[in-house]
Copies of this chain bind each other. A is one copy, B any other.
Amino acid sequence: MATRRSGKSYHHGDLRAALIAAAETELIEKGVDAFSLRGAARRAGVSHAAPAHHFKDANALLDALAASGFERLTAAMRAEQVASEADKTAQLVAAGIGYVRFAETNRELLQLMFGMSRRTGDDPDLARHSEAAFSVLVNGVGNVRGRQAFASEEGWRDVAACWSMVHGYAQLAIAGKMEFVTGLAFDEQRSLIEDLMRRAMSERGA
């Protein structure tokens, strides 16, 4: 049998991480629907019951994958921020662009992250990384409006507007429902997203 994979030992060593990686390719290739725990196990080269020792559930594995997704989403937003101008609003816009960019290159993953599907939701890592991503947006708003904006409801409304706008656009773009407004051109979309973000902050120039 496949007792030893490629001459290695009976025990895997770091199966947990390997399973998360395998789950991602399984997710990408098969889609959210057809994802299967057994498939992920196959990809990792272990038996179908092996994952049970690291994740109580199929959904628990996907929780961990979603947590990794939020971690990378945060990184994507920050990366776009540091590459942008120093202007505070521009930084907030950059975070939004990073958000959309990440969404478009990780469609299945984003759907997993924000859908209520296929998840338990009680993973502490997931909550932690999810809040970290959120805080990028909150900090961006805080830099523009000033910290005292969060004393009243004002600042939180700004956050709600930015998040709703960028998340809604990302979801709709992924679903292919935004083709009526802009071509596929890189800069066109960038300027559209900037427009949308500025609207959310009530800072539209024109």
Contacts and interface: CB of A to CB of B under 8 A. Distances in A.
A118 interface: yes
Interface residues of A, number: 41
A180 B138 CA distance: 11
A149 interface: no
A181 interface: yes
A139 interface: no
Residue among A115, A168, A177, A204 with max Cβ neighbours from chain B (10 Å): A168
Most B Cβ at <10 Å: residue of A111, A117, A164, A177: A164
B114 A171 contact: yes
Given A115-B111, A115-B117, A181-B153, A169 B175 contact: no
Contacts of A175: 114, 116
Interface in A76-109: 107
A181 B111 CA distance: 24
A9 to B, nearest CB: 35
Interface string A164-206: 1111110110110110111000000000100110011110100
A4 to B, nearest CB: 35
A55 interface: no
Contacts of A134: 177
Contacts of A182: 153
A28 interface: no
Given A111-B117, A202-B199, A164 B169 contact: yes
A97 to B, nearest CB: 14
Contact of A181 (B31, B156, B168): B156
Contacts of A159: 180-181
Interface of A: 31-33, 107, 111, 114-118, 134, 153, 156-157, 159-161, 163-169, 171-172, 174-175, 177-178, 180-182, 192, 195-196, 199-202, 204
6 contacts: A32-B117, A153-B181, A156-B180, A160-B169, A160-B192, A199-B199
